[in-house]
Structure 1
Amino acid sequence: MENKKSGNRLRATTISMGLALFAAQFGAGNLIFPPFLGRNTGSGWLIGFLGFFIMDVGLAAAAVLSVVANRKGSIDGVVGKMGNKAGKIMMIVIILCLGPGVCIPRTAATTYEMGIHLLMPWMPQWVFSAIFFGATLALVIRPTKVVDIIGNVLTPILLAVMVFLIILGIVHPISSPVAIPDSVPIHDGILNGYQTLDGLGGVLMTLMLITAAAGHGFTDKKDVTKLIAGADTISAVLLALVYGGLTYLGATVSGIKAFAGLEQAPLLIAITNKLMGGYGVIALTVIILMACLTTAIGLSSVAGNYFEEASEGKLKYKPVVITVIAVSFAMSNFGLSTIISVAAPILGILYPPLIVLVVMAFFDRKITNDRIAGCAAYFALFASIIETVGLPGTLGSIVAAMPLAEYGLGWILPAVVGGVVGAFIPAKKPEFNVAEGAVFTEAEAE
């Protein structure tokens, strides 16, 4: 009887955590990419979505699992292969970009520009941002309750409105998808999925799940791993269904000239208005508000948890969260375009080495020489710097000529070369430290 109760509690917690992870990963930035992809690929939307799924949903899911897949069972076990200090610096820069640098401010700016401003043009942006971040702070200040708040309250609202819009578009499609001349759907899907940068957030979201698991009384390695894997699966399935539906909605307007020249955000607004008439803007505003609020809550919580653990308790969760939200409020008032333009190059540089480290984490128990993953990540970092900055001359030409460079993946071959180089460098003597966000202890790792 006790085992049955424990199993039911584990399943209920897994579902709640899965819904919370879905909502935290499903931000407004992701909301606008699938319809744009569908519009640009037309009748090839399903193939385009496959590329998007691999580079967005698949990579984000792998990033979450990589934290429990490595030997240390921690974030440090993923990024620490570049070196202890280098790994921490990398994570801090990623958190600052994903947190107060770009993603959290972008949630408020996006909600205002795509929804609130259309419904209430008289409201200044700073007033809305103050309300938005006030609500974020109120919901995120208790770290063990963050997942429950998102999973049990906010996600059902987000899913209900999102599903209604998609079903409406399927039952009463605006038009039929048409073939798009010169379109390469898999190429467009990979590029759009790559631009969402979900893989960066995936590693960090595991911290939120670990904290939630502990809050529910789950600390055993096997239970926590089951919870995270189950939540990750639920989130991936929901993201795939929603993104697939949105991609199809975009494909249904691929043959309509009025939709042809629209950018991502205006395109989604136009599709929603076409499907729902005068209620379209209201529905879209609710979707964007829920998507952005859940993402802001999740990322704020992650930042608070990481800095508290990385500083060994010197930086407390609540002051960190308050600081992150205060900076995010200030940044949000610079506007969406400015926020994206400033942070995008930094994220573009950091993304490739993190992908390498995430992939290598799944082979961590087989490939025990950390030099292999570390060198592969450094080579990918070097190539991504050249690719992002666009250096002229020989180096720039070499990277531009790399296989898959046209997909923004020119760093893959350098990463492979780096891994080979690392294999010839003597490995360090293995050391086990229970690092930030560790899921299990040294004894449990055996």
Structure 2
Amino acid sequence: MDKRLNLTSNILIGSMLFGLFFGAGNLIFPVHMGQEAGSNMIIATVGFLITAIGLPFLGVVAIGISRSNGLFDLSSRVHPIYGYIMTILLYLTIGPFFALPRTGTVPFEISFAPYISTEYHALGLAIFTIIFFLAALFFSMKPSKILVWVGKILNPIFLIFLAVLVIAGISKPMGSISDAAINGMYKTAPFFKGFTEGYNTMDALASLAFGIIVVQTIKELGVNDPKNIAINTIKSGLVSILLMGLIYSSLSYLGATSVSLFEVSDNGGIALAQIANYYFGSFGSILLAIIVTVACLKTAIGLITACSETFNDMFPNFLNYKSFVIIFTLIACFVANIGLTQIIALSIPVLMFLYPLAIALIILGILSPLFKDKQIVYLFTTLCTLFVSIADALNAMPDIIKNQTFINNILEFYNNYLPFFNLGMGWIIPMVIGLSIGWIISIYKTK
């Protein structure tokens, strides 16, 4: 008889999932968004929550409902070649090239950089990232222990220390949200700006990677029936998004109230350090160092584990799991030394390309039982989404590339003829059209 998980088990798995998701960007981006959105913070936060917690939740659910063995299995339903390309690109993005290095740079930039002379900044970053990634490497060597390390140990520590900072900020706000200035696109389109700002957390991409960890954990606890796996995946996911939603909203509020005393910072890391120092003085620096380092370490463990297991499954005759762990950790440590601001800037075009494709996969995974996994539906939806995601990536490129005549003409065409493209949401209509066409063709072919 198939085992049913109790509430405690679902909370523990949900805690693990939250711990894997909530890392570097999850702390800094909502604070910075709150500062820029000002009095429009609430509506911007709603948009942010859709991409920062809604899509990751649906991504985990999609893996459970579609009965896939992870991202590679799900994306291969479009085409086997696409499966390899999408899986490699996504895992390298959330792994050694962008998200994983960021887990090493954020705690250094927030907790240690302000106290190190500029001339020794590069040396300090190198020493810190080496120690940080050695710790992540140690924990990642035993993936079967991830539920214990993240769910039972690191995550509770992180939540306790973060709660101290959040409660202080809400009980004694630095200023009023209604008086806070509004900056940039938050003046005209706060919801859509918040929506695309949620891309920076990379959690919708990570959900397609972490989903399989949740499914495997549920199986290891004795649940094997696909229907029960899907149900427990949803229950665990709900625990995770409730925690994330509460913390995101609180951090955004702290950011919005902080502009009464501080200028809008270059990034949320600087703002978070200022807020902690305001409430707790020198102790605030220690508190923030613990919060950020633990948050980033647990996410780094999850990313290294997920990337290494996936590449080991895809290329079993190339290298073993531990070899992939070492390689990805070394690459991440090297890239981390480029610096936080540069990593964020380089990642934006890649995220604008991958996010629409990931959203399409998530929706297809959830709807897959309705159209019986027909390849034609996956294919048309993905092709129509790809038509826009390429343009989104070009639109996020540096001006030196965007201002090239050929690329400028392409972007002008999209701006003139594709609704919502200027808001970064141009993929919606093409994706719906592709899904509809593919579904209609699949029904016609069946008949």
Task: Report TM bin, short chain.
Answer: 0.7 to 0.9
Give, in angstroms, the shift of residue 428 of structure 1: 12
CA distance 1:313–1:392, shift in 2 (3 Å): closer
CA distance 1:398–1:413, shift in 2 (3 Å): farther
Q: Which is worse superposed, 19-28 or 37-46?
A: 37-46
Q: Which residue of 2 aligns with 1:70?
A: 66
Q: Which residue of 2 aligns with 1:192?
A: 197
* Structure 1 residues 307-356: Cα deviation after superposition (integer angstroms, max 9, x where no partner): 22223576422221122112212222222233333343223211111111
CA distance 1:102–1:259, shift in 2 (3 Å): same
Q: What is the aligned counterpart of 1:330 among 334, 337, 341?
A: 334
Question: Equivalent residue of 2:338, what SS?
Answer: coil
Verify the 8 A CA contact 2:133 2:333 in the aligned structure 1: yes
- Are 1:409 and 2:425 an aligned pair? yes
CA distance 1:200–1:120, shift in 2 (3 Å): same
CA distance 1:411–1:330, shift in 2 (3 Å): same
CA distance 1:286–1:60, shift in 2 (3 Å): same
Q: Which residue of 2 aligns with 1:440?
A: none
CA distance 1:424–1:217, shift in 2 (3 Å): closer
Question: Equivalent residue of 1:108, what SS?
Answer: helix
**Following superposition of structure 1 onto structure 2, how do residues 302-321 of structure 1 map, counting pairs within 5 Å?**
302-312=306-316, 315-321=319-325
Q: Which residue of 2 aligns with 1:88?
A: 84
Distance 1:71 1:130 in 2: 39
* Structure 1 residues 358-385: Cα deviation after superposition (integer angstroms, max 9, x where no partner): 1122111112333223222122122111
Q: What is the aligned counterpart of 1:52 among 48, 52, 58?
A: 48
Q: What is the aligned counterpart of 1:381 among 381, 386, 394?
A: 386
Distance 1:393 1:326 in 2: 38
- Are 1:395 and 2:410 an aligned pair? yes
**Following superposition of structure 1 onto structure 2, how do residues 211-290 of structure 1 map, counting pairs within 5 Å?**
211-256=216-261, 258-260=262-264, 262-290=266-294
Give, in angstroms, the shift of residue 126 of structure 1: 1.9
Question: Equivalent residue of 1:259, what SS?
Answer: coil
Q: How many residues align?
A: 425
Q: Which residue of 2 aligns with 1:30?
A: 26
Q: Which residue of 2 aligns with 1:169?
A: 169
Distance 1:227 1:313 in 2: 34
Distance 1:323 1:262 in 2: 32
Give, in angstroms, the shift of residue 110 of structure 1: 1.6
Distance 2:146 2:239 in 1: 18
- Residue type of the alignment partner of 1:175: G
* Structure 1 residues 244-303: Cα deviation after superposition (integer angstroms, max 9, x where no partner): 1111111212444x3245543222222222122222222111111011101100001101
Distance 1:172 1:381 in 2: 47
Give, in angstroms, the shift of residue 80 of structure 1: 2.2
CA distance 1:271–1:141, shift in 2 (3 Å): same
Verify the 8 A CA contact 1:109 1:335 in the aligned structure 2: yes
- Are 1:42 and 2:58 an aligned pair? no
**Contiguous gaps of at least 5 residues in structure 2:** 396-405
Give, in angstroms, the shift of residue 429 of structure 1: 9.7
Question: Equivalent residue of 2:295, what SS?
Answer: helix
Q: What is the aligned counterpart of 1:358 among 357, 362, 365?
A: 362
Q: Which is worse superposed, 339-348 or 140-149?
A: 339-348
- Residue type of the alignment partner of 1:293: L
**Following superposition of structure 1 onto structure 2, how do residues 98-247 of structure 1 map, counting pairs within 5 Å?**
98-119=94-115, 124-179=124-179, 180=181, 182=187, 184-247=189-252
- Residue type of the alignment partner of 1:87: G
Verify the 8 A CA contact 2:377 2:442 in the aligned structure 1: no
Distance 1:225 1:366 in 2: 15
Root-mean-square deviation over aligned CA pairs? 2.6
Verify the 8 A CA contact 2:94 2:202 in the aligned structure 1: no
Greater helix percent: which structure? Answer: 2
Q: Which is worse superposed, 415-424 or 86-95?
A: 415-424
Q: Which is worse superposed, 22-31 or 405-414?
A: 405-414
Distance 1:385 1:370 in 2: 22
- Residue type of the alignment partner of 2:425: L
Distance 1:52 1:83 in 2: 32
- Are 1:16 and 2:20 an aligned pair? no
Give, in angstroms, the shift of residue 420 of structure 1: 4.1
Question: Equivalent residue of 2:258, what SS?
Answer: coil
* Structure 1 residues 123-146: Cα deviation after superposition (integer angstroms, max 9, x where no partner): 622221121111111111111111
Give, in angstroms, the shift of residue 184 of structure 1: 4.0
Question: Equivalent residue of 1:81, what SS?
Answer: coil
Structure 1-normalised TM-score? 0.87
Distance 2:445 2:128 in 1: 54
Distance 1:184 1:137 in 2: 42
Question: Equivalent residue of 1:173, what SS?
Answer: coil
Q: Which residue of 1 aligns with 2:398?
A: none
* Structure 1 residues 98-123: Cα deviation after superposition (integer angstroms, max 9, x where no partner): 11111111111122122133356666
Structure 2-normalised TM-score? 0.87
Q: Which is worse superposed, 221-230 or 79-88?
A: 221-230
Distance 2:151 2:14 in 1: 7
Question: Equivalent residue of 2:83, what SS?
Answer: helix
Distance 2:317 2:279 in 1: 51
- Residue type of the alignment partner of 1:134: L
Distance 2:293 2:176 in 1: 30
Give, in angstroms, the shift of residue 11 of structure 1: 3.2
* Structure 1 residues 173-198: Cα deviation after superposition (integer angstroms, max 9, x where no partner): 11111254535432332132133222
Distance 2:125 2:410 in 1: 44
